[in-house]
Amino acid sequence: MENETKSTAQENQKVTRAVGIVSIAVMVSRILGLARETAIGYYFPAKTSADPFYLAFRIPNFLRDMFGEGILSKAFITTFLATEAEDGEEAAWNLTNRIFNLTFLVLIGITALGIILAPVLIDILARDNFERNLDTIEHFGFDSKIELAIYLTQLMFPYLLFVSFAAIAMGLLNSKGRFGIPACASTFFNVGSLAVGIGGYYLCPLVEIHPVTGMAIGVIVGGIAQFLIQVPSMYRVGFRYRPLLSLRDPRVLQVVHLIGPAVLGVAAVQVNLLTNTFFITSDSGWLTWISRAYRIMHLPIGIFGVAISTVALPQLARFVTAGETENFRNALSHALRLMLVLTIPAGIGLMILSAPICRLLYEWGATVEEDTIGTTGILFVYAFGLCGFSTLKIVTDGFYAHKDIRAPVIVSICAVVLNICLNYLFIYREFFLDPRAVVFSTVLTVTLNCAVLLLLLRRKVGRLGLRSLAKLTLKILIASAVMGVVCWLTNNVIEKDWLGTEGIIPRTTGVFAPIGLSLLALAGMYKFLKVSEFDDILNIFKHGSR
């Protein structure tokens, strides 16, 4: 029993260290992503160029989340590990080649269809003010925002193909215990899209092409880079490409079986975001505000939620394959505890600093104060859902590790229906005609989705230590409250009594000084309250400094 406890502790420490590596890589990527959003805000006004770009990018980006980085990667990891354990490594490599080739054929068809049907898709999603004409200086051959959105959608659709390849590569490397390079891959997407986008802004008008075209081409270049950077690591772990294709391979069918129904329901967050688009294109600026707020919220989701989920899924799948139910429960509980320790204070900090963060990132160039106020209000609401968005990834992984997608599908479909009903009530019936209402409905449905799935998973595998999670949550809330007071007081002193809010130095200080002092306060409270998960996190830095 003592050896088993020691083994579990060592496994948890390994997971925590891997989470630290992935968190740092994802943090760099997400910061560059925010830099890309800042560049879009600086160069492209929300009501003319940015709105069409965000609308156009939502469609291939939605499909990426559905088929690529979300479902495809999870389905591949669980099946690859089972194949390797039961049929041998050669069978696992054959499966990888067959999935690569099948993905290529399917996504070529989807991409071609998306380009052809882009006018129909945009017409469905865009309403009212998207029909407004562009000024002569803005149009570059496009008479309205909706025409520009159609053009950008057709240009960016091939991104889906490359990012899906990148997702399979990530799944393969994660299955082999390689987390650093896959986590860094999205950094190359952001670097490529940012560099090409800024270059395109200056070069495209010289040949009478709309400046925002550079951002669209940058998306394609970034997607290619995100895949290619992982290829050398794939070869180092033993992968060799072979032109294999078989729809009768039972392992391929297993992946398809996991993906097929899940497309309807597991990616509830992405479905909600796409349905939200229909409701928020009725007023200029709303889509841009929500897209920018969502991008900011994605920084802590990536650093904590995606990082923990990325590391946890292969471990959970191995325990299920080996029939080690107790180890599965311990690993899942540890992942959930880490998630709460990190995301609850992050959400509270995001609420308090929503205005300073939006001002620092976006209120430059073509972005006006009205845009900052709109984005701030939406980010504040999004922050309430940070814990739910992140925890949902872990809970869903628990079902994926068991190759059970029935419950996530049913619950997620119910969540999507509820989200649509709430949006209809708020926006169409004008019960609460405000972009924050759309975000509130998303946060509510995702949180409910997470809670229901957690209870269903408990019924499936047994006790998950939810009582101890409740006690831990109380400690976290106490520590986060103290942290929040320190954060609020520090920001108030800097902005109201000391530096103000105009200029890069006051804005940067108004964000990072409160964050630094808040982290010290949070660390002190975690030590005082004896939160053991915080010690695990500290060990990451101790291990890295040796």
Q: Name the residue range of residue 342's domain.
A: 2-544
Predicted pLDDT of residue 70: 60
Predicted pLDDT of residue 123: 81
Q: What are phi and psi of 140, to 5 degrees?
A: 50, 45
Point out which residues pair with 144 in neighbouring strands: 133
Predicted pLDDT of residue 270: 61
Nearest to 122 by CA among 60, 190, 50: 60
pTM flag (> 0.95): no
Residue 15: partners with Cβ closer than 8 Å, 6 or more residues away: 311, 312, 315, 331, 334, 335
Point out which residues pair with 133 in neighbouring strands: 144
Distance CA 403, CA 409 (A): 12
Residue 375: partners with Cβ closer than 8 Å, 6 or more residues away: 289, 292, 293, 358, 362
Predicted pLDDT of residue 240: 92
What's the angle, vertex CA 276, arms to CA 196 and CA 118, rounded to 5? 55
SS3 210: coil
Distance CA 43, CA 201 (A): 8
What sections of 44-125 are H helices per DSSP? 51-63, 71-87, 89-125
Nearest to 262 by CA among 6, 502, 67: 67
The ranges of the chain with pLDDT < 50 are 1-2, 4, 136-137, 266, 544-546
Kindly tell me the sign of the dihedral angle through the C-alpha atoms of 8, 10, 13, 19: negative
Asked if residues 331 and 11 have their Cβ atoms less than 8 Å apart, the reply is: yes
Got the DSSP string for 495-539? IIIIS-S-SHHHHHHHHHHHHHHHHHHHHHHHHHTT-HHHHHHHH
pLDDT tens for each residue of 84-134: 888 888 999 999 999 989 989 988 998 999 999 998 888 877 755 555 555
**Identity (one letter) of the amino acid at 123?**
D
- Taking every pair of Cα atoms in the chain, the longest distance, rounded to a whole number of angstroms, is 76
Asked if residues 97 and 246 have their Cβ atoms less than 8 Å apart, the reply is: no
**Identity (one letter) of the amino acid at 481?**
A
Nearest to 8 by CA among 536, 543, 541: 536
Q: What are phi and psi of 144, to 5 degrees?
A: -145, 165
Task: Note the Cα 95 to chain centre separation in Å.
Answer: 27
Asked if residues 331 and 316 have their Cβ atoms less than 8 Å apart, the reply is: yes
SS3 133: strand
Predicted pLDDT of residue 545: 41
CB atoms within 10 A of CB 9: 13
Predicted pLDDT of residue 66: 62
Distances (CA, A) of 29 to 81, 96, 183, 299: 27, 26, 8, 9
Asked if residues 290 and 276 have their Cβ atoms less than 8 Å apart, the reply is: yes
**Number of domains the chain contains:** 1
